[in-house]
Structure 1
Amino acid sequence: MSLQPADKKHLAVLTAVVVVAVAIVAVATTLLVRGTPESDPQVSVATGRSLERVEPTFWCDLDMTQCHPRALSIEEIAALPVTQFPVPAGGSLSLSVPSEIATAPWMLVAAYATPEGVQPVTWIHRSGTTYTQVLESTPDRVLLGVEIKPFSTVLEDAPDGLESGQGDILFRGHYAISTAPDGFTVGNETELPAVRG
């Protein structure tokens, strides 16, 4: 079957229209994606059938040059609202961090209510080693809350450099989640020294 000259002309016009439409869609998609601000990395927490994604109180790039809303002091962080995600005693909290956090070192701090007092437990995870961690909550060791603190590459107050052991590495972000069971009250509020997990 051969095409008539008029059919060839219509086919050429139709092909040109399709090519232009595809080009317009590609350009529009590129502009939309480029114009959309990147969202801050979210941490996923789960217990039983409940799942929630938690936004950071602040987030910065590794060099702390771009922060939003901005890097906050410890006092400012303490004044911010905390995400409420109750975990029943006898249950567990599963938390997962995205690659934006796990590809660099990060710290997890959990607070437990024990008969002796409130016990902070700290884990420091090396780059690329841990993406998910499960924390148990038992009747004699109730999980009260967790903080996730990703490290930056910025060292503060170390005039003699990193090897000197001086100064502090700044945290590039902060996540705070209250996991105390609904209606739970801490029996002994004595603050115990932190231990390594």
Structure 2
Amino acid sequence: MVAVSSGEKKALAIILVVAVVFVAVVGGLVFALTSGHDDPDEPYLQVTSGSHFARVRPSVWCDVKLEKCDPPAGTQARRPAAFPVQPGDTLMLSVSADIASGPWFLVTQYATPRGVQEPGIAVKLSKTTYTEVLRSTADRTLVSVEVQVPSAVAVGDQTNVRGYLSLDTTPYDRKK
């Protein structure tokens, strides 16, 4: 039998405590990042403006072939997430890696003194853009944002959208 000195016991005890603390911290971090998000494989947006932050789940999300959808095809989509952005503020929007891994579309709409502008559509190429910064001013107020992800299903020369994630960014004082 090998005798263990008191110094070796102390070193082993310290190593054991450090390992337990490490596992607890990593486990807590993983839990914090995944709690409140039902499906870790579901795509999402992370949005922030000022001191406000939200994680937005899809209004509609289907598999690539449009065979399985959530909510199911023929039922009503989830309402756009309310995330007011005041004039003068900036919205920072980040898409999850599974959205950015393929092409996606950013659709924005602004209210101006002349009325609501036609939606602006920007095409984002695969693995090139994860984060967008959208500014809202008194003369050009951001009122809605939508991220659309194309499917593998095409009708003629049009590709269908497999899902979208929507935000209502209308400022509080503009909502009636």
Same fold (TM over 0.5): yes
Of 56, 61, 77, which aligns to 2:58?
56
Tell me the distance in 2 between the aligned counterparts of 1:150 and 1:84: 20
Secondary structure of the equivalent of 2:173? coil
Tell me the distance in 1 between the aligned counterparts of 2:40 and 2:72: 15
**Any runs of at least 4 consecutive aligned residues in structure 1 with deviations exceeding 3 A, and if so which?**
36-39
In the alignment, is residue 116 of structure 1 matched against residue 118 of structure 2? no
CA distance 1:72–1:151, change in 2 (3 Å): farther
Tell me the distance in 2 between the aligned counterparts of 1:154 and 1:129: 23
Tell me the distance in 1 between the aligned counterparts of 2:109 and 2:102: 23
Tell me the distance in 1 between the aligned counterparts of 2:70 and 2:169: 25
Unaligned runs of 5+ in 1: 4-35, 159-165, 187-197
Aligned letter for 2:170?
A
CA distance 1:91–1:150, change in 2 (3 Å): same
Tell me the distance in 2 between the aligned counterparts of 1:37 and 1:178: 23
Of 65, 69, 78, which aligns to 1:67?
69
Aligned letter for 1:54?
V
Identity of aligned residues (%): 39
Superposed CA offset, 1:96-154 (max 9, x none): 00111011111111110011221121111111111100000001000001111111121
Structure 2 counterpart of 1:7: none
Structure 2 counterpart of 1:95: 93
Mapping for residues 143-162 of structure 1, pairs under 5 Å:
143-156=142-155, 158=156
Tell me the distance in 1 between the aligned counterparts of 2:39 and 2:132: 29
Secondary structure of the equivalent of 1:183? helix
> TM-score, normalization: structure 1?
0.65
Tell me the distance in 2 between the aligned counterparts of 1:94 and 1:147: 13
Shift of 1:174: 1.1
Aligned letter for 2:72?
R
Unaligned runs of 5+ in 2: 4-37
Question: Is contact 1:59–1:71 with CA below 8 Å preserved after alignment?
Answer: no
Tell me the distance in 1 between the aligned counterparts of 2:111 and 2:40: 37
> TM-score, normalization: structure 2?
0.72
